[in-house]
Structure 1
């Protein structure tokens, strides 16, 4: 499942051409950093997690069997490295109360977001993502921003695909609650008045 170019690079590294590892780092550094930043919520710590991730990747490259995408394998290492760091800091994560949402409320929030300018919407989502617990933020990042499948995410977070689906649903509800609170009430009111 690993792309041919990744496999060629891995083979060269395994045969002693360690300089080629820089190409793999270049290829995946943004993906690893984005996931680490969403989980750590701190740029310096995300940079450290990224460095630790690539050190671990290099040291355990011979353990990569190629039965999943190389990117999925790297994501899993980045995810676990972030979790380990979070556990060592024993940070208190902000919790979000999940209220029961009606389909109309979720649709209203989605439609209100669609009315915002694309850039403002992306910034609003990014800001609200930072308010989620790290694991929720990571799941949403992997699914919506990195466009990993449920199967791929299940390999990253070491859960069954059905569990990932349930956790994604809960994470999305938490994000919807944050967005509901953070969005300008006028935007929602304006939208609802146009729908009547």
Structure 2
């Protein structure tokens, strides 16, 4: 089966041939692992992503709508799974750090601080709503999910320098929208 093209293997797999699935896994597992490792920057996490990608393929073969675009589907699925893995890890790390910080010191919050924070959050939400969806996604990956420029670049298939420039421009636009002075630096 290994001498068959990807299109043929995917076709056989879509018809229920488990040997075709095994051949696809063997052919593409190294690629999936490399892509996942570039995004996650963690070998163990990349291996978990590899398993998740092939499990997704096995459980939902119809997701591969175009057998001739299997490599593109596999790449996109791997990147998406890897980003999700990084997000989960980042959330766990933030939660752990937050719990440690809370156990060290309990902060007292004044009611006026809550009102000010709510007002600022509403203004930020309005400003973000004026951005394009891809711009909001970029900012979310950087600031909400805590991904590095390199991780975002790997996920989006763009140079890290482009991601850094786009992010800086978006932050500058938000500052103008919010009428916030740039930090001294």
Q: Which has the larger radius of gyration?
A: 2
Q: What TM-score do the two structures reach when normalised by structure 1?
A: 0.47
